[in-house]
Structure 1
């Protein structure tokens, strides 16, 4: 087996002859494991709290405190998807560790004792592991437990509202996208690239890899909510022979919320101008 992993470790690539990664030799796609849950959580939270076109705009204050709270609250969402066996990450096989204790464990996240006043860069520096990009997913037959998601929604109240709106706008017959057994519909939830790995084209290659892998596993479709133009473009333009279908979308700053008691109309997502969409890729 090849020895091109971090620190010369054996390659753990999830790529195969049937499903190549098409990544430069420096990068490797691996199936995420339990030990990667805090790494993946940090990637998702850092990307969303600091770099997203949605959440830093909706919540510009106390971003680091929100990131730290979100990191703890995201464990269930990330764990559920990692345990599904259909969540993958891109790893940097040439990563240089900042701390010797990180090297001993092949990586770590040091957010437990970080100050709420830490900067975005300090939060990034405390992510000392080779995980560059994640694509989290779970089998639709094993639905998320909304009660266990509530701590994350408490950190980002508009997160719950946004997904609720997309659910309402999805006018498909329930039976057309509701699984009756395993390996029918794959649910994609969390596409994030670590800030210092943006610009390498990793997200698209990982997304295309996941589409091919889902097809090999027997899934017939993938559903994904997109809160970023690049993500929406990637999933709207899948590789042949897959076909994308735009299920619904809305522009955040144009969404009106009306109080049933007072009749007052508000725009809860302003000033965020991002288009939120739901896409299904038929495999």
Structure 2
């Protein structure tokens, strides 16, 4: 996996993690070390355990067995509500019901709530950062647009801004490109790259089962199948034809071009020339 981590820059240390529910192993023997500034992808077929692992690494679920340290705090020995204040999360199924504006949705990231807190007033620096993030993600012109009038792609970028408003040390993204068309997906991935470039010390974990949804800034990957790790480590060593075929139990060819990834069922002479390298 990664090189030996120094205690000062280790963000997550998981050892022999099992999650068992109703006699079924959702995760089995997962060990991973994630350091500051790394950007991980959790990849695998449906039901592989990706969201379960993300919940454990985000302090939203305790393992049945094993040890998990997050930002220097051990699950089971720390206040998870306090710990989560240092963790940002993007959930495409954001359960907002109020007619907040895009800027107001971003500002809820300061309180960690779905809606605005009654009688709460954002500080000037929070207002300034919200506007900076909206500008960075290409949403300045829609800051006053109501949530229900935003496109799915615009909502995704607003939620990304919300998640990073409080400058969390750890950012979790659970299939953030779900339901997006090509244009919206590319805008979201570009926005994520911009966020990562603006905060190089931050760490992120992104869940997906589509390689096309990986930003160019992805540094590491963990492949899951039936709750077990198939492989993990530097992205270029993990996203190979052999390992991805094993993970999805289907023969695929992995392609890479200008930092982006794709999987095809078989070498296609019309497709391969468009890619700089083949995995």
**TM-score for the superposition, normalised by structure 1:** 0.30
**TM-score for the superposition, normalised by structure 2:** 0.30
The structure with more strand, counted as a fraction of residues: 2
The structure with more helix, counted as a fraction of residues: 1
The higher relative CO (CA closer than 8 Å, separation ≥ 6) is in: 2
